[in-house]
Structure 1
């Protein structure tokens, strides 16, 4: 599909604009300006594009405080992957700083380390069955710190997807002491601590989940939005293969000994509704108001949406659950994602807009969200891309 921009609404005098960065498998990282007009409508315009994270950009990690963007190239058509860094300019354009070859298949990255000290970025490698880290040296410069590879003694419960470890995400716990990596192939969530000075990772006891779960992405949550070892903390894990969201109560072990997980609930990502066969949940996020959990569902075509030209758009879905103080979740809403295969989504800092990257529809859809009710609503803007959409992040 050639590049096309599709606007759902045209505003009057512009009141404000926010930048988003979007990656797609054509090799491009594109800057978009979402402009809110005084009459409440929006426009979404592409303002910049670069191919310096080609050929297969899969994930974007933004460091807004330092004006940096890190792009992971999955390397679908090359023997290796790569990590690229960019400085974010005031107009939303990107200036390339560095590119380095990595183990194949990086699909997620997170920055860790002391805010005022040495920091690093950790990468989860899906096809490379690995976790790697790179020391950040300021201004977008970085260097290899560590590479850890994993193996399986035998295939898992779903051999075609669990033939090897498949590290799918890298996240931090709320206290920033531990790095967690869901492993879709091994049915584990790997847990790492790290040395404060060298930022070298050390693997601790993992969270083991039911065979065939296929851990993909996860989030932590505390009812009061605080982070401490003694705080009541919960962990929610999306199982891509089982199409589940599983909640765990988290206990911090003494002396930096790791985390203990106690399962408290398990649900279909469709909640109370009948789940379509083949549904494959992907992204999971807690809303900025700390009240709801949102999950994207792929491969379900739960909605048929009329298009302006009279055609019908088959759409996958977004699930919303309400978070309870005891860690339980209550199904709240199922809503169209605005396209096929919502691989990733991001919520703006106000919680009133959700940017969804629909991979197979090669688009980005901005959905309105009611902060008071927690309900996602109609799209306010949409843009097309050249390749399959992989990641979208807000620059706020």
Structure 2
């Protein structure tokens, strides 16, 4: 992804710098790319130093995992019209990236999750309705392990579910013993137990969602002695919270709350598509993104264009000790189609990839860590090429 015309407002903080890593879809003529840049915040003006734009990890890079550390980034190529891949790229001393490993995998991967102390990796496949797993060798290479396909299973009633399973996310639970995979097509979240000796998975009963709700992404929260699972549902734009009880037969999930991803105000959400969900770094808030139903107008990120643009939204809820959610805010995302967003380490900044804007933009806002509210925009970028789909703060 090439970035141009990045501009910032000042922040009343001591000078500090953070690196941001993004991925973006390509188009018919240009590969998608992975970009890094420095965002420096300080008293007065802020500054940006672009570092790298890497386009050798596939045509449609769609997910970035930085948990291996050491400058390594695992990338999946969703590859709508080509062969999907799983890659590792390594950051070099000059800030550039080098491709170190790449293997072909089952089509339409959209998210990954390391598990078993990073000995193995699970991949969610949207278009092919599957979960695949890979062991990670000492040399950093991935070896195929297992495949679970759901494509022929019973599907939901919405048009987006007519062709069956669409597994969209992979998430590990706080104990490190279980993985869950929301499946938008089947109105279910698949649950697996991890074998710590073999890296293999054993299926457990699914979490069943209401028909036509379309579970997309999920996030676990450890709160005192309790564990909760929050799932955002794309097709009915709801967030549902479950209390997790661990038994000798595996985890049990009890629904404790069901709220709109647009907050308590009555609103027709037909056609909307909720996307990402995360827990704030202080473990106090659930944050989600909404797409395809813009309800705000915001200043144009292009400083040469005074015409306001439409904006989708970011919703924030405060979590309770019982897993129930209290509405905090519905804020603009800064543009259209915020498929993914990320928070910096202390949660004081949120970076949002508005990949559906024309041109796509990366928008960075202040966030009040005490109230959980998103405040003023402090940075915007106008991107060329395809839409931004993943945003990671590197600190």
Q: TM-score, normalised by structure 1?
A: 0.91
Structure 1 unaligned regions, length at least 5: 225-230
Q: How many residues align?
A: 383
SS of residue paired to 1:175: coil
Tell me how far apart the structure 2 counterparts of residues 269 and 315 of structure 1 sit (CA, whole Å).
15
CA drift of 1:92 comes to 4.2
SS of residue paired to 2:7: coil
CA drift of 1:372 comes to 1.9
The question of 1:30 aligning with 2:23 is answered no
Structure 2 unaligned regions, length at least 5: 27-31
2:257 to 255, 262, 265: 265
In structure 2, the residue matched to 1:227 is none
Q: How does 1:42-191 map to 2 (within 5 A)?
A: 42-63=46-67, 65-78=69-82, 80-89=83-92, 92-114=95-117, 119-138=119-138, 140-191=140-191
The question of 1:329 aligning with 2:364 is answered no
Task: Please say if residues 136 and 142 of structure 1, whose CA atoms lie closer than 8 Å, have aligned partners that are also in contact.
Answer: yes
Q: How big is each residue's C-alpha offset from its partner over 1:123-172, in whole Å with a ceiling of 9 and x where there is no partner? A: 10000111111211246432222222123344421133342111100000
In structure 2, the residue matched to 1:388 is 387
The question of 1:377 aligning with 2:371 is answered no
Q: How big is each residue's C-alpha offset from its partner over 1:197-225, in whole Å with a ceiling of 9 and x where there is no partner? A: 2211221111111111100001111323x
4+ runs deviating over 4 angstroms: 10-14
Tell me how far apart the structure 1 counterparts of residues 198 and 286 of structure 2 sit (CA, whole Å).
35
Q: How big is each residue's C-alpha offset from its partner over 1:163-203, in whole Å with a ceiling of 9 and x where there is no partner? A: 21111000000111001100000111101112212211221
Task: Please say if residues 162 and 186 of structure 1, whose CA atoms lie closer than 8 Å, have aligned partners that are also in contact.
Answer: no
CA drift of 1:114 comes to 2.5
SS of residue paired to 1:6: strand
Q: TM-score, normalised by structure 2?
A: 0.92
Tell me how far apart the structure 1 counterparts of residues 356 and 350 of structure 2 sit (CA, whole Å).
18
Tell me how far apart the structure 1 counterparts of residues 205 and 19 of structure 2 sit (CA, whole Å).
40
Tell me how far apart the structure 2 counterparts of residues 314 and 212 of structure 1 sit (CA, whole Å).
27
1:253 to 247, 264, 271: 247
RMSD: 2.1
Task: Please say if residues 321 and 331 of structure 1, whose CA atoms lie closer than 8 Å, have aligned partners that are also in contact.
Answer: yes
Tell me how far apart the structure 1 counterparts of residues 34 and 261 of structure 2 sit (CA, whole Å).
30
Tell me how far apart the structure 2 counterparts of residues 315 and 212 of structure 1 sit (CA, whole Å).
25
CA drift of 1:11 comes to 8.5
Task: Please say if residues 8 and 45 of structure 2, whose CA atoms lie closer than 8 Å, have aligned partners that are also in contact.
Answer: no
Task: Please say if residues 318 and 327 of structure 2, whose CA atoms lie closer than 8 Å, have aligned partners that are also in contact.
Answer: yes
Tell me how far apart the structure 1 counterparts of residues 344 and 371 of structure 2 sit (CA, whole Å).
16
In structure 1, the residue matched to 2:29 is none
Tell me how far apart the structure 2 counterparts of residues 367 and 91 of structure 1 sit (CA, whole Å).
29
SS of residue paired to 2:69: helix
